Chains A and B, each alone.
Chain A
Amino acid sequence: MRRRSGLLFVAPALILFGVFVLYPMVTAFSYAFYHWQGTTRGGFAGLDHFVTLFTRAPFKTDMPRALLHNLLFFLGTMAFQNTIGLAVAVMLHRRPRTRRMLQTLYAMPYLVSPIVIGYLWTLLLSPTFGPVNQLLTRIGLDSWALPWLGDPDTALWVVILVSVWQWIGFPVLLYGAALGGVPEELSEAARVDGASHRQTFFRITLPLLVPAIGTVSVLTFIFAMEAFALPYAFGGSTGNPAGSTDFISLLFYRTAFDSGAADAIGTSSALATMLFIIIFGGALAATAVLRRHERRITA
């Protein structure tokens, strides 16, 4: 009886998930194995579209470059967003009176659409009218007034850092919640035993945060591999300038909707399948590693 009523409660969500997520995913997977003439399905193509991705221009050059940018985006986000986020969360944890207000403030930018954020930063960083370069010039730092989004050496880092700025509130909230779950007695006992703040943090608090760090890392990986809106707002669908802000999702968008190629559905579905395998595989591997770490800590 309990099982049946459980099913009843789960069913609506399950059906919606099936119709709107699972079914499109499975069909996209199947599309990758057929030839296409616009929206009309042709004969069975086998692995042709996957071979195209690795052997034909522009995919054979654009795909590895875009994937590298996704990975750099992940590493940059891990290095800045999650470390700064943890530091901010720890500081806020020690200030219970202002914690709520500051957590809200840190979370504010992610309430704004990434497209709007991208547009605003594009205006701020414009070499022609942007206030950032005008300010740098006015205070005598002319050499720092770079074409931030026009130079391939800086453009990707601008995308990463603006993303960090926008999403910093996310790890702050997650780590904040995890810190709230760390028993206060453990830290107190350590301090009674003469441990410094630093020792308490690295020996007591941080190990207990590993599950939260793991969750944040896996979510960051998925987020970085799926990055679309912010890079699109900064560099358009071609990852301007000269492909330096190109990401896999942008390549997918170009292939599916911009190319006008007759076989666009097949090739883009193959790309989507590859992306899914990378994300799913990466997330599984990361979760397995983290579980092992957790077991070692709790053992």
Chain B
Amino acid sequence: MTRRSPWKPVALAAVSSVVALTACAPSGADSSEDGGAKKTLTVWSWRVEDEAAYNKIFDVYEKSHEGVTVNFKPFKATEYNKILATGLAGSDGPDVPQVRSYGQVQATIASGSLVPLDGKVDLSGWDENVLASAKGKEDGKLYSVPLARQATVMFYNKGLFEKNGITVPTTWDEFMAANTKLAGAGITPIAVGAKDDWTLPIVHEVVGGATFGGTDFQKAVLSGEKDFTDPQWVASVKALQDLEKFMPKSVTGVAVTDAQTLFSAEKAAMFPGGSFDLATLQKANPQMQIGVLEVPPAPGAASGSEPTTAGWADGNFAVSKKSKNQAEALELVKWMATKEFGQMVADEVKQISAVPGVENKDEVLKQIGTNYDKNGSPYLLLTDFRYGAPSGTDLLGKGIQEMLLGKKDAAAVSKDLDTGVKTWFKPGA
């Protein structure tokens, strides 16, 4: 009797498992040549809700670019970061991934997964604040084409304002008087969902942007001339505390979806949010007339302060270094910087296109765009204070929650923000 190795069955099982696993593996046909003629470009995105709009847009592209098929593949937004990290590192990733902006894209850039686009894509004449979203902090190179401009906005219900004899306030006193009148009429003046801390830096920017001084403050804080303990910044945080009485009861228990519902159900007159909220609000109550207003500077603001509309860019598209169709991917991204693409983004995706000169058909979006062009400033904590951990938005969100819970005052919240970001932020760097 010959002695058989005890490992033979194990090896056999291992081989069969590997065969089974291989059979389950994706074929990788998405990005390969199709019959030697047509090439398929895979575009990844976190906008599941925009799939139909993007398919429509890419149908137009395919018509003018014979030989290229664009396959739009959206993933769940909350899972996207990890899916993209794996996709860009492996061989089955996208040709053209939608990437995050400003600080949030730095890790992707640092991993060397994206193709630098300097000299390949022409973005001359684009807003500097928008371009900053697509650049590497270390090397200053361009790595993506921005898709949309977002803005922080105070939405208001035109019907409720009219019914209560309120005109758009131009001073802080008028703004407070409007809130008092609305509260007296049994309406929640400002719908805030403070249970979701990520919304609170947006609410702060909407309410306090004019108070801390928008672009001027950005320059001062980046150069080190000022920091977040500056009295104007503290006053902007305190403005939020002063408005708590006009927010829903037990505001730290109210989710942002509840706040949106209060506004859509016309139980609240104002909703501080982002331009990205507009489609949801319009869909929830198509009859409601929505307007946008800029909150006037609160007490403590520098003299001569003007209301602002803070903005940032997001939804940028890049080219993966591992794409097997480099030329075609670059061509697609170049097209994304054209007015033709920008107009379709405005019309189909209902966003304010990042491409200069694109007109919005939606009146509210048009108004937001005009406000930004006139009084635009960066959404500071997103555009400049997300390059390290803890991020400015995380710190302020948590701090405002604590302030609304009565655990901290505006000065302490501002101090914590300053101390937190200074662990990684070096002024003038």
- Chain A residues at the B interface, C-beta cutoff of 8 Å: 3-5, 7-8, 11-12, 15-16, 19, 37-40, 56-58, 122, 125-129, 146-152, 236, 238, 240-243, 255-262, 264
Pairwise interchain contact A151-B252, C-beta atoms closer than 8 A? yes
Pairwise interchain contact B405-A241, C-beta atoms closer than 8 A? yes
Closest B residue to A57 by beta carbon equals: B423
Pairwise interchain contact A255-B389, C-beta atoms closer than 8 A? yes
Q: Take A255-B389, A260-B104, A260-B107 as given contacts and tell me if A151 and B402 are in contact as well, using a CB distance cutoff of 8 Å.
A: no
- The B interface, classified by DSSP as helix, strand, loop or mixed, is helix
Closest B residue to A264 by beta carbon equals: B107
Given B103, B113, B254, which contacts A38 in the complex, CB threshold below 8 Å?
B113
Is B197 an interface position by the 8 A CB rule?
yes
In the complex, chain B residues whose CB is within 8 Å of the CB of A19: 17, 21
Known A128-B258, A242-B407; further 20 A-B contacts with Cβ < 8 A: A8-B13, A11-B9, A11-B14, A37-B112, A38-B85, A39-B85, A58-B394, A126-B254, A147-B254, A149-B195, A150-B194, A152-B405, A238-B397, A240-B197, A240-B401, A241-B253, A242-B398, A260-B103, A260-B107, A262-B107
Pairwise interchain contact A16-B248, C-beta atoms closer than 8 A? no
Given B103, B111, B253, B261, which contacts A37 in the complex, CB threshold below 8 Å?
B111
Assembled-state Cα–Cα distance A3/B6 (Å):
8
In the complex, chain A residues whose CB is within 8 Å of the CB of B61: none
Given B4, B252, B389, which contacts A261 in the complex, CB threshold below 8 Å?
B389
Q: Take A58-B394, A150-B250, A241-B195 as given contacts and tell me if A15 and B14 are in contact as well, using a CB distance cutoff of 8 Å.
A: yes
Is B10 an interface position by the 8 A CB rule?
yes
Assembled-state Cα–Cα distance A108/B254 (Å):
29
Q: Contact string, B226-263, partner A, CB cutoff 8 A, digits 1/0? A: 00000000000000000000001111111100100110
Given A4, A255, A261, which contacts B9 in the complex, CB threshold below 8 Å?
A4
Pairwise interchain contact A150-B251, C-beta atoms closer than 8 A? yes
Pairwise interchain contact B401-A242, C-beta atoms closer than 8 A? yes
Pairwise interchain contact B250-A127, C-beta atoms closer than 8 A? yes
Nearest Cβ on chain B to A257's Cβ, whole angstroms: 5
Interface core residue of B89, B111, B195 (most chain A CB under 10 Å): B195
In the complex, chain B residues whose CB is within 8 Å of the CB of A122: 255
Assembled-state Cα–Cα distance A283/B107 (Å):
36
Pairwise interchain contact B251-A260, C-beta atoms closer than 8 A? no
Interface size on B, as a range, is 35 or more
Assembled-state Cα–Cα distance A173/B139 (Å):
60
Pairwise interchain contact B110-A238, C-beta atoms closer than 8 A? no
Assembled-state Cα–Cα distance A39/B84 (Å):
11
Given B13, B111, B197, which contacts A11 in the complex, CB threshold below 8 Å?
B13
Pairwise interchain contact A256-B195, C-beta atoms closer than 8 A? no
Is B81 an interface position by the 8 A CB rule?
yes
Q: Take A242-B398, A260-B100 as given contacts and tell me if A11 and B10 are in contact as well, using a CB distance cutoff of 8 Å.
A: yes
Closest A residue to B100 by beta carbon equals: A260
Could you write out 19 A-B pairs with CB less than 8 Å apart? A15-B17, A37-B111, A38-B113, A57-B390, A127-B249, A129-B258, A146-B250, A147-B252, A150-B251, A150-B252, A150-B253, A238-B198, A240-B195, A240-B401, A242-B401, A258-B81, A260-B107, A261-B107, A261-B388
Given A8, A150, A257, A259, which contacts B195 in the complex, CB threshold below 8 Å?
A150
Is B374 an interface position by the 8 A CB rule?
no
Pairwise interchain contact B109-A236, C-beta atoms closer than 8 A? no
Pairwise interchain contact A126-B113, C-beta atoms closer than 8 A? no
In the complex, chain A residues whose CB is within 8 Å of the CB of B82: 256-257
In the complex, chain B residues whose CB is within 8 Å of the CB of A127: 248-250, 253-254
Pairwise interchain contact B110-A40, C-beta atoms closer than 8 A? yes
Is B88 an interface position by the 8 A CB rule?
yes
Closest B residue to A149 by beta carbon equals: B253
Q: Take A11-B10, A242-B407 as given contacts and tell me if A58 and B110 are in contact as well, using a CB distance cutoff of 8 Å.
A: no
In the complex, chain B residues whose CB is within 8 Å of the CB of A15: 13-14, 17
Assembled-state Cα–Cα distance A216/B7 (Å):
37
Nearest Cβ on chain A to B417's Cβ, whole angstroms: 11
Pairwise interchain contact A259-B13, C-beta atoms closer than 8 A? no
Assembled-state Cα–Cα distance A150/B103 (Å):
30
Query: Which B85-131 residues have C-beta < 8 A from chain A?
Result: 85-86, 88-89, 100, 103-113
Interface core residue of B103, B252, B253, B388 (most chain A CB under 10 Å): B253
Pairwise interchain contact A150-B109, C-beta atoms closer than 8 A? no
Pairwise interchain contact B197-A238, C-beta atoms closer than 8 A? yes
Assembled-state Cα–Cα distance A184/B16 (Å):
49
Is B420 an interface position by the 8 A CB rule?
yes
Q: Take A148-B253, A260-B106 as given contacts and tell me if A241 and B401 are in contact as well, using a CB distance cutoff of 8 Å.
A: yes
Is B135 an interface position by the 8 A CB rule?
no
Q: Contact string, B395-411, partner A, CB cutoff 8 A, digits 1/0? A: 00110011001010000
Nearest Cβ on chain A to B100's Cβ, whole angstroms: 7
Q: Contact string, B68-82, partner A, CB cutoff 8 A, digits 1/0? A: 000000000000011
